[in-house]
Amino acid sequence: MNIVVLDINPLKPEAFEALQACGQVSLYPKTTPEQVLERAKDAEILLTNKTKLNADMINALPNLKYIGMISTGFDVVDINAAKARGIPVCNVPDYSSESVAQHVFSLIFALYRRVEYHNQSVQVGCWERSEAPFYWHTPQRALNGQTIGIVGFGHIGKKIAKAANGFEMNILAYSPRQKTPTNYENFAYAELDELFAKSDIVALSCPLNDSNRGFVNASLINKMKASAIIINTSRGPLINEQDLALALRTGKIWGAGLDVLSVEPPSIDNPLVGATNCILTPHLAWATDIALNKLLKTVAENIKAWQANKTQNQVN
């Protein structure tokens, strides 16, 4: 079968060797919208990570039989258009929950303890010149007793809660669906307004859809404590970036740690690049060695399952 992978960057071609057992493979580092139809015109199996596949594109590919995500998220694909043509869209669920949850706390510690900043201060001689045997240039904040509000309580949200419980934090969670019981004494479900008002840390862990695009806006941010921070390892468009940048600049909230932005890579005029007390990482929360191995293995297994008429991880 003809397999086309539209965007392998930043991975190397050898990472996709397992696909060779599934068919004839064509790999592209990156594909622009204008290049999709030409590159995918003969594809029976089409794999994408960030390259968008809209209804017009899907309907213009007569040989297309299967769409595979190289990710958990599938918002770049018009899954309804695919379903109308009988084309399954399969993702890779829960391959990086631990990795993303760990990065949530990496961002929290980056804001709370400023380890890298203080390392640099030592390297340039600040400790050597210090009149005291120890020092800190930024407030040093502890986690125990703090309240973390987790928006979205799926696989990743539950991993965040497990770690937070280990740090003896209070946990609030917002879940629009079934509210799964937990064994944590310091845990409660809350509506969004309450969660944002009571939390010291708000961690976004929810998928992006039309109903929650830009929901973290001035109205919700203004309910937060002035000492609170926002962490986003989910999807950039969940946040109104102009509103968040203004809140950081004016001290409405204390900080933000973001692994995702509304447009990636960001333009130089993105209001959060260079914003006050805002730490940015380049969408790497998921990219640990263990998670990468699981991701690529599951991408190939999804194709093999479909080829054996045992489709798995279908989202449409």
Average pLDDT on 74-95 reads 95
Choosing from 39, 113, 141, 283, which is the catalytic residue?
A: 283
Choosing from 114, 155, 235, 241, which is the catalytic residue?
A: 235
Helix residue ranges per DSSP H, 85-174: 97-113, 115-123, 126-129, 155-166
Domain ranges of the chain: 2-95+289-307, 97-280
Intrachain domains 2-95+289-307 and 97-280 with the same fold: yes
97-280 classified as CATH 3.40.50.720: yes
What is the full DSSP assignment across 248-309? HHTTSSSEEEES--SSSSPPTT-TTTT-TTEEE--S-TT--HHHHHHHHHHHHHHHHHHHTT
Q: What is the pLDDT of residue 202?
A: 98
Whole-number Å distance between alpha carbons of 310 and 237: 34
235: annotated active-site residue = yes
Average pLDDT on 254-259 reads 98
Q: What is the pLDDT of residue 263?
A: 94
Q: What is the pLDDT of residue 67?
A: 98
**Cβ atoms 121, 137 nearer than 8 A:** yes
249: annotated active-site residue = no
Question: What pLDDT digit, counting tens, does each position of 104-118 carry?
Answer: 999 999 999 999 999
Q: What is the pLDDT of residue 73?
A: 84
103: annotated active-site residue = no
Task: Tell me the backbone φ, ψ of residue 74, rounded to 5 degrees.
Answer: -135, 20
Report the Cα 76 to chain-centroid distance in Å.
Answer: 14
Check whether 41 has a pLDDT greater than 90.
yes
Domain 2-95+289-307 belongs to what topology? Rossmann fold (3.40.50)
Question: What pLDDT digit, counting tens, does each position of 187-217 carry?
Answer: 999 999 999 999 999 999 998 888 999 999 9
Output the pTM of the full model. 0.86
Instruction: Dump strand ranges (E) for 36-186.
Output: 45-48, 66-69, 89-90, 147-151, 170-174
Whole-number Å distance between alpha carbons of 168 and 164: 6
